[in-house]
Amino acid sequence: MTTPANFNGKRPVLDPADTAMLLIDHQSGLFQTVGDMPMPELRARAAALAKMATLCKLPVITTASVPQGPNGPLIPEIHENAPMPNTSRARARSTPGTTPTSSPRCVRPARRP
């Protein structure tokens, strides 16, 4: 595999100090509407993203639009692969004429020495 030219001949590196994994609306009800791949594969790919972020000690941010409604909660594989023990909830701020639809959950890994 060749290295992309936009990295000045070096391999790209993700630094947990300035990188986060954002998983938007990975909800059980919304997954039912995806027709591009089989449901088990979609769930496995979402779980792999969460696991990769955890292994790389990246902060994981998740959102869920109307989790008590038809969209349902986040799929359990997200929480299984990116445990969120110290979460803080924040409401999305809306701009004039819009309504916040997501409640982000954030986890920050411990700082490296």
Distance CA 56, CA 28 (A): 26
CA separation, residue 7 to residues 2, 10, 11 (Å): 11, 5, 7
Whether residue 58 lies inside any domain: the answer is: yes
Q: Which of the two residues, 2 and 108, has the higher pLDDT score?
A: 2
Q: Is residue 7 part of a domain?
A: no
Report how many domains make up the chain.
Answer: 1
Residue ranges making up the domain that contains 30: 17-88+103-107
Residues in the chain, overall count: 113
Average of per-residue pLDDT across 70-83: 90
Give the position of tokens 């959950």: 105
| DSSP β-bridge partners for residue 65 | 102
Q: Which residue do the tokens 């998983």 mark?
A: 23
What whole-number distance in Å separates Cα of residue 101 and Cα of residue 113?
37
pLDDT in tens, 32-56: 899 899 999 999 999 999 999 999 8
Within a domain: 65 = yes
CATH number at residue 42: 3.40.50.850
Residue 30 has phi, psi (to 5 degrees) of: -70, -30
- Within 13 A of 103's CA, how many CA atoms are on the CB side? 9
Can you give the pTM of this predicted structure? 0.64
- The whole-number pLDDT of residue 85 equals 54
The model's confidence at residue 2, banded by pLDDT at 50, 70 and 90, is: low
Q: Which residues of 30-43 are buried (b: 16+ CB within 10 A; e: fewer)?
A: bbeeeeeeeeeeeb
Which DSSP state fits 16? Answer: T
What are the pLDDT digits (tens) for 90-109? 444 444 444 444 444 444 44
